[in-house]
Amino acid sequence: MTWRGIEEFLAVVDTGSFTAGAEALGVSKSYVSKMVSELEARVNAQLLVRTTRRLSLTAAGDVFHQRCQEMRASLVDVERQMAQFQERPVGRLRVGLSDIFGVSYMSSIVADFSARHPDISVEVVAYLRESELVQEQFDVVIRYGRLNDSSLKARLFGFLSYCLCASPNYVAQHGWPSSPAELAGHSCLTDLGGHFHFNDDDAANGRVKVSGNWKSNSGLALASAARHGIGIAQIPISVIRDDLREGRLTALDEEWAYYDREVWAVFSPGMMPAATRAFIDHLAVSFEHRKLRPWMEPAMSALASHLHRSR
């Protein structure tokens, strides 16, 4: 069933004649007559009785008119509801969060957003690998590092700061390296790729091959191994914040020892619903308020400007 001819039929009934209906729609009387005739042929029923003196509905036409009025009212209501998605944060928001380094930090930001917007139903889905993602199934996906797909719509809203960390006992026994090259003399707890990354371009483009007897694709597992004194790990500060505060782990506080990875909010193309727009704005404000190392701010601002110019 299509809407073709129904608007003309309703205009004729509402105004009481083909002439008035055509004037209301801004079209010719012959066009309205043609549309109504095609509609009657399509539904296989006479809807109107036409005489030179009056126009009236048949029994079938009366039922059809009532149902069409109900459908038109439903369409108006749907349009009003759709407008709300653009005007204020309502509806469902589906967010994809990487679970490689745990979702506790980002989840707390999402939970804070949800508390501020009770009219939004939030779904948080954790993923381990980018290959698990189908971007179209999410309103927003949080991605880290360089975005290889230039077709994605994305907003850079912060940086994930990594530090070199180890247990106090490990540092007491083995000390800290004074440069990336000295990591070769330490047991390093790494991801499955076996590399540490740094902001310093002199360190082999910021990528250093290290070795050790513990690897994991989970930042939480790496943090656990570090707490047991197995070696030095490179983990986001947000993951080990409590460990650092309570002394279970200690971080090497040298500028060369940090790595700051871009954090992107990637979202679907097309018109952005108000809920998505509000969430992305909330992410930006949250990261601004939760800066972990103030001395990095100039470098982060410069990198952000470069990334925006290059996209």
pLDDT digits (tens, 9 = 90+) for 1-15: 577 888 899 999 989
Does the pLDDT value for residue 295 go beyond 60? no
Q: Tell me the CATH class for 6-86.
A: mainly alpha
Q: Residue 44 has which token pair?
A: 């296989």
Does the pLDDT value for residue 247 go beyond 50? yes
Q: How do residues 47-71 score in pLDDT, each as one tens digit?
A: 998 877 778 899 998 999 999 888 8
The reported pLDDT for the residue numbered 166 is: 96
Name the segment(s) of the chain with CATH classification 1.10.10.10: 6-86
The reported pLDDT for the residue numbered 273 is: 82
Contact indicator for 111, 80 with CB cutoff of 8 Å: no
Name the segment(s) of the chain with CATH classification 3.40.190.290: 91-311
Does the pLDDT value for residue 294 go beyond 70? no
SS3 letters across 55-92:
EEECHHHHHHHHHHHHHHHHHHHHHHHHHHHHHCCCEE
Does the pLDDT value for residue 131 go beyond 80? no
> Residue 177's pLDDT band (boundaries 50, 70, 90)?
very high
DSSP designation for 152: S
The reported pLDDT for the residue numbered 201 is: 54
> Residue 302's pLDDT band (boundaries 50, 70, 90)?
very low
Q: What percent of the chain has pLDDT over 70?
A: 84
**What is the arithmetic mean of pLDDT over 203-229?**
86
> Residue 210's pLDDT band (boundaries 50, 70, 90)?
very high
277 three-class SS: helix
The reported pLDDT for the residue numbered 297 is: 41
Residue with tokens 């003309």: 8
- Backbone φ and ψ for 168, nearest 5 degrees, come out as -55, -35
Mean pLDDT, all residues of the chain: 82
Does the pLDDT value for residue 141 go beyond 50? yes
Q: Give 14's contacts (C-beta < 8 A, 6+ positions apart).
A: 21, 24
Does the pLDDT value for residue 109 go beyond 80? yes
Select the more confidently predicted residue: 291 or 225.
225
Q: How do residues 151-172 score in pLDDT, each as one tens digit?
A: 778 888 888 889 999 999 999 9
Q: Residue 124 has which token pair?
A: 């948080």
Select the more confidently predicted residue: 293 or 66.
66
Does the pLDDT value for residue 301 go beyond 60? no
Residue with tokens 């106090």: 168
A 10 A CB-CB count for 155 gives 16
Contact indicator for 176, 162 with CB cutoff of 8 Å: no
Name the residue among 191, 205, 202 with its Cα closest to residue 162.
191
Contact indicator for 233, 189 with CB cutoff of 8 Å: yes
> Residue 102's pLDDT band (boundaries 50, 70, 90)?
low
The CATH number of domain 91-311 is 3.40.190.290 = yes
Q: How far is CA 243 from the centre of its chain?
A: 30
**What is the arithmetic mean of pLDDT over 83-109?**
74
Does the pLDDT value for residue 304 go beyond 60? no
